[in-house]
Structure 1
Amino acid sequence: MLTPISYSQEETDMIEQKLSETNFNHRSWADDDLKQIKESIKKHYHSVQNGVCPYCRQQLNSTHGRYWDIEHIIPRSHVSNFMFEPKNLCMSCVDCNSEKSAKKITSSTAKSKYPIKSEQYFIIHPHLDNYEEHLMVIEAGLFYYPLKPKGRITIEVCGLNRFYEFAGFGSNPDVFTTINALTTAAASVEDETIQQNMLAQIASLAVRGMIKNKQSIN
């Protein structure tokens, strides 16, 4: 879980002024007078996240804008009032941010008070959830295994299947690499149900791999 940003008094005053503008809306994020706030947000979250995307868990040490986006967990186009809410902010890689886009990620209809209960969110919330309880990173940037429904939805919403397509998400052309990664992960899992599910997928992939190999020989 992340440590939310604490704004300085000057930044707080700037935010309050922005929110009070008569024409304030989600597009106000592009206003030039928010550059200082944005830099402060970027600096804080890149530091507390140690350069790790909260969704795909890839480490991107560069602070360059080509690699990172300021992420509004509840999209600002849904609730503009949460644009500066510390618990609604983090840094995500450009690809995860783009995939998530303005998808609906909460059951809450709140417009003024930010929802802070984990169960109100469909995806793993960087401030409210323990990532490892919902999603297993077998190899960051390659294989992810959902442990709970929230983990599976995070894979779908953030497009983590852009790295791979296997076990119900599609067919990975490198089946044997997938099998090896899943086998290693299954050996470290203590939950028997999860382990059995992983072993079943390994068996399915093995059959698929043999068929593919046979077809290539013929």
Structure 2
Amino acid sequence: MPDAYLPALADFELSDDEISAIETALQHADPWAHDDAALAAVRTHLQSAKQKLVDHHMARHHETCCYCRTLMGGGGRFVRDREHILPKGRYRALSYRSSNLSASCKRCNMEYKGEKIDFVVDPNTILDDHENPDRYLIVHPNFDRYESHIRRRSVQDGMNYIVSYMLKPGDAKAQYTFEFFGLAALEKESFDEAQGLFWSSESEDNVEGEFPDRI
């Protein structure tokens, strides 16, 4: 499937020790639980693999959440999660698969998405077809270009700020993602003089030609 971002998924590399550690972990009841005593022998390599994964995906999304585009740079683990698009609790074989991982804010991951699979078309057959963006109702963090569906604009001046989302007209994935992650709750207006800075949801003229395929 076409990769929507750079650095490319195909360019992601792990060391032989990290690959071996992941293979060992996948035999464990909870492959992601590197703190478990049963994974003590490979813990260091699992931790380094996880760090490489999150760094790679943070770079792909320019340090923003893959679901709401909130800036996460500098926030560390208190703001950012390593995101399993298909939940690792349900699809353990994909626990360390880069194509099933991204970086999201804790709000989108913990409060809205969690272990849900409502956004998957036929969850029972998705494992072998998880790289197909047509199998997802949400904008896929790796195989759909977010800005081809949704644009987030924000301006802040001291304590005054605006956050606004523009959905591509008639785009089902944009609408589903907006509702699934409760993005309306993130839209704020705290000063009147900033009116008009963002696209009008009623005007397609501002959208035409504004959706690049890749960054």
Instruction: Give the TM-score of the pair, scaled to structure 2.
Output: 0.71
The count of aligned residue pairs is 180
2:89 to 74, 77, 85: 77
Match of 1:197 in 2: none
Structure 2, unaligned runs of 5 or more: 36-42, 156-161, 210-215
Distance in 1 (alpha carbons) for counterparts of 2:48 and 2:75:
16
1:125 matched to 2:132? The reply is: no
Once the two structures are TM-superposed, the CA of residue 154 in structure 1 deviates from its matched residue by: 0.9
Q: Which sections of structure 1, spanning at least 5 residues, go unmatched?
A: 165-171, 192-218
What is the one-letter code of the residue matched to 2:51?
A: E
1:189 to 207, 210, 213: 207
- The higher relative CO (CA closer than 8 Å, separation ≥ 6) is in 2
State the secondary structure of the residue aligned to 1:7. coil
> Is structure 2 residue 11 aligned with structure 1 residue 20?
no
CA shift for structure 1 position 146: 2.5
* Shift in Å, 1:86: 0.9
Between Structure 1 and Structure 2, which shows a larger proportion of helix residues?
1
Q: Distance in 2 between matches of 1:107 and 1:124?
A: 13
SS in 1 for 2:18: helix
Q: Does residue 144 in structure 1 map to residue 165 in structure 2? A: yes
CA contact 2:126–2:135 (8 Å) conserved in 1: no
Matched, 1:6 2:2: no
Task: Specify the alignment match of 1:135 in structure 2.
Answer: 150
- Which of the residues 93, 110, 120 maps onto 2:105? 93
* Residues 185 and 59 of structure 1: CA distance in aligned 2, closer, same or farther (over 3 Å): farther
Counterpart CA distance in 2 for 1:91 and 1:153 is 20
**Higher strand residue share:** 2
Computing the radius of gyration from Cα coordinates, the structure with the larger value is 1
**Compared with structure 1, are the counterparts of its residues 177 and 93 closer, same or farther at alpha carbon in structure 2 (3 Å cutoff)?**
farther
Following the alignment from structure 1 to structure 2, what is the Cα–Cα distance between the partners of residues 123 and 177?
34
In the superposition, the TM-score normalised over structure 1's length comes to 0.70
Distance 1:175 1:59, change over 3 A: closer
